[in-house]
């Protein structure tokens, strides 16, 4: 399926900018909507002069319009790193609520397919492992992470309601830990933090005992899955992530190995409500979308180190 004109909310963010690049490569006209609260103009440097690219500076939590025809909306806007959503809890909830409402209204008015980016955080600290889409989650609704968790849970409910009540062409993807080029050094997430510390020769800081697990998907794989969902008519939710589970401590060791750093590892206080295990069941994505990740963690880390992301050390 070919999309003529797509709107990408959060288009200047880490994931959104990669989505814009890939859509343009596929011949789609792209409108990026971002207020640069957490996104960066630098993420768009490779596409901003493309005649098929438009930039709309706007806060999606406020009503916005995109004149002209649109046949795809990808709603990716939302602070996603702990450093951001803990600093902007109300803005995070507004984006998850009002931002999703406005994106859905835009798609409905245009008759466009819309895919809303949810997160593995809707599963909380899971009691089921690996996590399937049928699992309802174990979430603390008033904990420090809840502003992100509940923003996404509400976004899913609102998306499902638009499909049921208005017949909107909706899809929901639950994105697990994703990493790759263009992550900010101060992002607060594990991979950029470990890489910055290793490249600078600093001690890597592991929260808690490091035996908590994550499943890390390289951004190119994630974008491929996201667009496969867009090209389908499935409503979801569908998990997108890497089913290869690894401990945080082993991630730190691998980062040291890949960077050739002499850094050591130091354990610090565990994060509040930090999930002990996180791993997606991706059977649904494999069956419905024909998708699974291809890039190993080692190769993905090497790609980050071998590119301009050495700036992480600064």
| Residues designated catalytic | 148
Q: Which residues lie below 8 Å from residue 49, measured CB to CB, with a gap of 6+?
A: none
For the chain, the distance separating the N- and C-terminal CA atoms, rounded to the nearest angstrom, is: 42
Phi and psi (nearest 5°) for 39?
-80, 170
Say if CB 17 and CB 42 are below 8 A apart: no
CA 231, chain centre distance (Å):
18
How many beta carbons lie within 10 A of that of residue 142, not counting itself?
Answer: 8
Sign of CA dihedral 169, 293, 284, 150: negative
Q: How far is Cα 213 from Cα 246, in angstroms, rounded to an integer?
A: 5
Angle value at C-alpha 15, between 297 and 7, nearest 5 degrees? 150
Say if CB 166 and CB 207 are below 8 A apart: no
Q: Which residues lie below 8 Å from residue 313, measured CB to CB, with a gap of 6+?
A: 185, 196, 199, 200
């Amino acid at each position: 399926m070919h999309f003529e004109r797509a709107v990408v909310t959060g288009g200047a963010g880490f994931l959104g900018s990669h989505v814009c690049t890939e859509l343009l490569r596929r011949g789609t006209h792209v409108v990026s909507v971002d207020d640069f609260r957490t996104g960066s103009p630098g993420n768009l440097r490779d596409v901003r002069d493309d005649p098929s690219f438009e930039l709309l500076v706007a806060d999606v939590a406020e009503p916005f319009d995109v004149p002209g025809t649109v046949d795809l909306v990808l709603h990716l806007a939302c602070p996603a790193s702990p450093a951001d959503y803990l600093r902007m809890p109300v803005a995070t909830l507004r984006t998850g609520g009002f931002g999703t409402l406005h994106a859905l209204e835009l798609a409905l008015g245009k008759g466009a397919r819309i895919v809303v980016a949810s997160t593995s955080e809707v599963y909380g600290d899971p009691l089921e492992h690996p996590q399937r889409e049928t699992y309802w989650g174990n979430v603390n609704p008033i904990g420090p992470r809840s502003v992100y968790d509940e923003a996404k849970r509400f976004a899913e409910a609102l998306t499902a309601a638009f499909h049921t009540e208005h017949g909107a062409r909706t899809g929901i993807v639950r994105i697990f830990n994703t990493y790759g080029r263009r992550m900010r050094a101060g992002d607060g997430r594990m991979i950029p933090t470990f890489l910055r510390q290793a490249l600078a020769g600093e001690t890597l800081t592991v929260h808690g005992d490091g035996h908590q697990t994550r499943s890390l998907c390289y951004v190119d794989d994630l974008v491929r899955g996201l667009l496969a969902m867009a090209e389908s008519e499935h409503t979801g939710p569908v998990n997108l992530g890497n089913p290869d589970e690894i401990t945080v401590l082993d991630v730190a060791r691998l980062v040291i190995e890949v960077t050739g750093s002499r850094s050591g590892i130091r354990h610090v206080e565990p994060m509040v409500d930090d999930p002990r295990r996180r791993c997606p069941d991706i059977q649904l994505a494999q069956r419905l979308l024909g998708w699974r990740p291809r890039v190993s963690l080692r190769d993905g880390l090497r790609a980050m180190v071998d590119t301009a992301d050495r700036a992480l050390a600064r």
